[in-house]
Amino acid sequence: MSRVLFCWELGGDYGHLSRQLPVALELQRRGHEPVFAVRDLMGAEAILGPHGLRWLQAPLWIGQLTNLPPAISYPELLMRFGFLDARGLTGICRAWRNLIELVSPQALVLDHAPTALLATRGLGLPRLNLGDGFCIPPRLRPLPAFRWWQRENAARLQDSERHAWQTANQVLITLGAPPLVDFSEIAVCDANVFCTFRELDHYPERPDGDYAGPIFSLGQGVPVHWPQDGEQRIFAYLKPGFPDLERVLEALSKSPASVLAHVPGASRQMLTRFSTANMAVSERPLDMQQASTQCDLAVCHGGAGTTAAMLLAGKPLLLLPMQMEQTMTAKRLETLGVALAMPREAVGQAPRFLKRTLAEASLAARARSFALDHSGYDQRATVHLAADRCESLLSAAR
């Protein structure tokens, strides 16, 4: 039996743990011991707790940086999490190393854990990078801009990457670890599992990619019960931190469709206000397999798991991105012709966007075409692939 430490540092909600959990359970079934270092302890309680798994708080950057412009690249994103301050970043990396020494794993599985990737460089522990295209940036120099569909300041991209690279190498020198040849090398591990399809990769210019397919929760959550009123069905998964949440819920409640919305931690007042003849709101996760199979349209922010589940079921989407990763997803899906994206400044037009997305036959047709193209996909095969690669690393290290 080997102990495997699953590391998660950036990102929120269910997606990262829902991706790691099936792999961890498969390794556990094979006789190994999975342990987690997680960003969100409440999420761990909800996702990992029912399975009796163990977790610890991941070392995180908690400083508040001000006067930084919106990030235009992955290095600029990481500047908000310590890659501007070598001293602070060194402290977090030492904490990662201390945690690893206490847990004593024989291998690491990293899901959007860039500081853990930096901290474990040179330790000799086998490392598997698990994630979608956003979590595993391409090996390009410089790393491309997030908004690949528009021109960005090339000098700024290079300067930002150089600064983050120099900060990272200062930390590595302090830790006695080999420096990075270039910043994209930070994501290099002994093995990768790209949990996405090529069409959904956040970086369409990636020169290569071993696309294994998405991993997301199916068959979990409470059963789906649609309101009786309404001919078409809309499933919505909206975050409580979305600034325009109530305006979108209001638009959904006034639509002619039967609406089922999941809002994590929704208040009793919200549940009461938006529980009508044609709409129900649940604060608990819903069975995504039922929801994706039965709905005609999905409304969400653009999380990797939800979008993949809906597209594999052949359902179009209306996307309300809240951050850059979701914005990149929204642009990819609009390019594929399977979704519309509603920018925040257009939230007053939500009823029109809902009506258009339901009525536009080409969106549904292209979503069905996507599902047909991937009709043979079985995410259990991706879970087994990830577990196989992890076991191969364990065997090679013995």
Per-residue model confidence (pLDDT) at position 244: 94
Can you tell me the distance from the alpha carbon of 330 to that of 350, in angstroms, rounded to the nearest whole number?
16
Alpha helix stretches (DSSP H) within 295-346: 304-312, 324-336
Which of the 8 DSSP states describes residue 157? H
Domain extents for the chain? 3-213+379-397, 233-373
Detail the DSSP E strand segments found in the chain.
Answer: 3-8, 33-38, 54-57, 107-111, 127-131, 191-194, 233-237, 258-262, 279-282, 297-300, 317-319, 339-341
Per-residue model confidence (pLDDT) at position 218: 60
Can you tell me the distance from the alpha carbon of 373 to that of 330, in angstroms, rounded to the nearest whole number?
20
Can you tell me the distance from the alpha carbon of 363 to that of 373, in angstroms, rounded to the nearest whole number?
15
Residues 92/59, Cβ–Cβ less than 8 Å: yes
Can you tell me the distance from the alpha carbon of 98 to that of 59, in angstroms, rounded to the nearest whole number?
10
The single-letter code of the amino acid at 247 is: R
Q: Consecutive 10-residue runs of the chain (398 residues): their mean pLDDT?
A: 96 86 97 98 91 97 87 96 96 98 98 98 97 93 94 95 98 97 95 95 90 83 90 94 94 95 90 91 89 96 94 98 96 97 92 94 98 96 97 91
Is 3-213+379-397 assigned to CATH 3.40.50.2000? Answer: yes
Which of the 8 DSSP states describes residue 279? E
Q: In Å, how far from its chain's centre is CA 35? A: 20
Name the CATH architecture for the domain at 233-373.
3-Layer(aba) Sandwich (3.40)
Residues linked to residue 318 through DSSP beta bridges, in sequence order: 299, 340
Q: Which residue has the tokens 């500047």?
A: 79
Q: Evaluate whether 3-213+379-397 and 233-373 have a shared fold.
A: yes
Q: Which of 210, 215, 220 is nearest to 189 (CA)?
A: 210
Can you tell me the distance from the alpha carbon of 324 to that of 345, in angstroms, rounded to the nearest whole number?
16
3-class state of residue 211 by DSSP: strand
Q: Which of 65, 74, 7, 1 is nearest to 32 (CA)?
A: 1
Per-residue model confidence (pLDDT) at position 221: 79
